[in-house]
C-alpha cells in the first residue's frame, strides 16, 4: 500500500509539472466507462463501509478509516485525471503523442487507484473476519485471499481494455464473479454455523447447595449426584440438568458459575472429569452477550492484557445431567446465597463457533 500510494503521489506530481491547467478540456481518447470507474469504486466503498459497520463486528474506527482511505483515493484519482484533461500540451511534442501520453496517464492512474482503494476495502474485510468464528471465519478468510487475487486480475483487465475504442468485457465479468463468489462463500459459512437448535429446546435447570467438607456427602446424596469431591472448606455443590434433543447433534456444552453480586466468575469449577477452559470460542463471548462482562479482559497499558481466571465444566453432547463443585476466591467477601449465583450455559460447535449462550437461574436444592 505505501508503494502504490507513493506511485500515485509521484504520478500526480509529474502531471502537475508537465503543465498548468487551462479552461479548455482536451478530448483524451479513453473510454467513458474508464472515467466512471473511480465513482463506481467510491460507491462500492460506501456500501462496504455501511455493511461492515452494520455487522457490529470489528473495530468501527478502523472500518471507517479504511473506508475513508478508499474514498480519498477515488477523489484523488478523479482530481488528477481532470488535471490531465485540462493541462496544457507537452512542449515540443506532436499532438498525437501528447494525446497518447494523456490516455496512458488516465489508464494508469485509474488502474493503480483501483488497486489501492480495493486494498483499503480488503482491510475492512479483515477487520470483520477477525471477529468471526467457526466456518464463517474460515470462508471469510478464503474470500479475503480470493478478493486480493481477484483485484489484481481486475486491474489487469482494466488496463488491457482501457485502449481507445475497446469495450469492457472482462472487467464486468470479473467484478460480478468476485461479488457473487464472495456472497455465496460467506453465506455458506453462515449456513454451516447455524445452531442445530436454540436454548429453548434444552430447558436447562441448575440446582445447588452451599456445603462444607463435613456435609458434602450428605448434600451430594440429597441432590442425587456422585463422582465429585469436596473442594475446600466451603464450596458450591450443584446439579445441572438439560433436555438434549435426541438423537444428539453436533456440538458440546460448557457451563461456568457467576456471582451476580460482584460480577465475577468462579475461578475454580470442577465436574466428574475435572475442569478446564472451554476454548477460545468462550473468550470473546462477552462481546456478544453483555451479561457475560465478567469474562472481559483487563488492559494494563504497556504491561499487556489479562483475562479473568475461570474454569468451565464440559458436558457430553448426549448427557442430560452433570454434577459440579465450585469455589470463589477467599477475599473477605460474604459467601454467596443461591439467589446470588448464576450458571451460564454455552453451546459450542465442532469448528469452534459459539452457537449461543444462555443464563440459567440457580435454585436451592
Model confidence over 324-359: pLDDT tens digits?
888 887 777 788 888 888 999 998 888 778 889 999
CB-based contacts of 306-309 (< 8 A; 24+ apart in sequence)? 307/283, 308/264, 308/265, 308/267, 309/265, 309/267
Model confidence over 5-41: pLDDT tens digits?
999 999 999 988 887 877 777 777 888 888 889 999 9
pLDDT at 176: 92
CA 255 to chain centre: 25
Confidence label for 280 from pLDDT (cuts 50, 70 and 90): low
Mean pLDDT of 172-177: 91
- Retrieve residue 58's grid coordinates: 470489528
pLDDT at 48: 92
pLDDT at 278: 57
User: What does the alpha-carbon distance between residue 359 and residue 131 come to, in Å, rounded to a whole number?
Assistant: 23
pTM: 0.72
Q: Are 336 and 211 in contact (CB under 8 A)?
A: no
Model confidence at 77: pLDDT above 90 = yes
Q: How far is CA 327 from CA 176, 229, 235, 309, 360, in A?
A: 57, 12, 5, 12, 18
Amino acid at each position: 500500500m505505501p508503494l502504490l500510494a507513493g506511485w500515485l503521489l509521484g504520478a500526480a506530481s509529474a502531471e502537475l509539472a508537465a503543465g498548468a491547467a487551462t479552461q479548455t478540456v482536451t478530448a483524451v481518447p479513453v473510454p467513458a466507462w474508464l472515467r466512471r470507474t473511480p465513482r463506481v469504486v467510491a460507491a462500492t466503498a460506501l456500501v462496504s463501509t455501511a455493511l461492515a459497520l452494520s455487522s457490529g463486528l470489528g473495530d468501527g474506527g478502523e472500518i471507517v478509516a479504511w473506508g475513508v482511505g478508499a474514498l480519498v483515493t477515488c477523489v484523488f484519482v478523479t482530481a488528477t485525471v481532470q488535471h490531465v484533461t485540462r493541462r496544457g500540451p507537452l512542449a515540443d511534442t506532436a499532438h498525437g503523442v501528447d494525446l497518447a501520453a494523456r490516455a496512458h496517464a488516465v489508464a494508469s492512474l485509474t488502474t493503480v487507484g483501483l488497486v489501492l482503494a480495493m486494498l483499503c476495502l480488503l482491510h475492512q474485510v479483515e477487520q470483520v473476519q477477525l471477529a468471526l468464528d467457526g466456518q464463517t471465519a474460515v470462508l471469510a478468510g478464503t474470500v479475503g485471499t480470493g478478493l486480493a487475487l481477484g483485484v489484481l486480475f481486475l486491474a489487469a483487465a482494466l488496463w488491457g481494455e482501457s485502449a481507445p475504442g475497446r469495450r469492457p468485457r472482462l472487467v464486468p465479468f470479473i467484478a460480478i464473479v468476485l461479488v457473487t463468489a464472495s456472497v455465496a462463500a460467506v453465506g455458506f459459512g453462515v449456513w454451516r454455523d447455524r445452531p442445530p437448535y436454540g436454548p429453548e429446546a434444552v430447558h436447562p435447570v441448575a440446582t445447588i447447595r452451599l456445603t462444607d467438607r463435613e456435609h458434602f456427602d450428605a448434600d451430594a446424596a440429597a441432590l442425587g449426584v456422585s463422582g465429585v469431591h469436596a473442594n475446600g472448606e466451603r464450596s458450591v455443590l450443584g446439579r445441572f440438568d438439560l433436555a438434549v434433543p435426541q438423537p444428539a447433534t453436533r456440538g458440546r456444552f460448557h457451563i461456568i458459575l457467576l456471582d451476580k453480586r460482584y460480577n465475577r466468575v468462579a475461578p475454580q469449577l470442577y465436574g466428574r472429569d475435572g475442569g478446564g477452559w472451554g476454548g477460545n470460542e468462550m473468550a470473546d463471548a462477552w462481546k456478544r452477550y453483555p451479561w457475560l462482562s465478567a469474562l472481559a479482559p483487563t488492559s494494563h497499558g504497556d504491561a499487556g492484557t489479562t483475562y479473568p481466571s475461570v474454569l468451565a465444566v464440559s458436558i457430553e453432547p448426549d448427557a442430560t445431567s452433570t454434577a459440579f463443585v465450585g469455589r470463589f476466591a477467599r477475599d473477605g467477601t460474604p459467601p454467596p446465597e443461591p439467589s446470588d449465583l448464576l450458571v451460564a450455559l454455552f453451546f459450542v460447535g465442532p469448528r469452534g463457533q459459539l452457537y449461543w449462550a444462555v443464563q440459567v437461574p440457580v435454585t436451592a436444592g
